[in-house]
Amino acid sequence: MSVPLDESYRYGLMTRLPTAQTTRAITELLDELEFDSIWVGDHIAFTTPILDPFLQLAQVAAYSNRLTVGTGVYLLPMRHPTPVAKQAASLDHLSGGRFIFGVGVGGEFPAEYAACGVPRA
């Protein structure tokens, strides 16, 4: 049995979206340039401020009915999985199935684990 490979290219942008105005402008530009997706990261305590990825991506999904939205990556160990599952399912539903949920463990900033009361081991 073989699996056919998709040989088409897709283009996305990994970014931070610091303001509502920036989010709208970037979303409109990516739509105009026919990008396929937009991705945001997640940190609790980082060198620069990072907004909540679910809120940012919900705003993008409201501005574009075409772009796939995704987390690259969401630091799942920092939060209880039940409300996160509801948030992810809600975003996927509101975006019409365009949400890709990338998760990771983080670890490069130990202060994040301490701030969330999560042991690193």
The answer as to whether 86 is a domain residue is yes
Each as own residue / partner, the long-range contacts of residues 110-114 (CB below 8 Å, 24 or more positions apart, any chain) are 111/45, 112/43, 112/44, 112/45, 112/46, 112/75, 112/78, 113/77, 113/78
The answer as to whether 87 is a domain residue is yes
Instruction: Report the alpha-carbon distance of residue 59 to residue 20 in Å, rounded.
Output: 8
The answer as to whether 99 is a domain residue is yes
Contact in structure between 57 and 71 (CB atoms under 8 Å): yes
- pTM, two decimals, is 0.89
Structural domain span for residue 56: 24-34+52-121
* Each residue's pLDDT tens digit, 30-48: 999 999 999 999 999 888 8
Please tell me the predicted confidence (pLDDT) of residue 93. 98
Please tell me the predicted confidence (pLDDT) of residue 9. 83
Give the phi and the psi of residue 68 in degrees, each rounded to 5: -75, 140
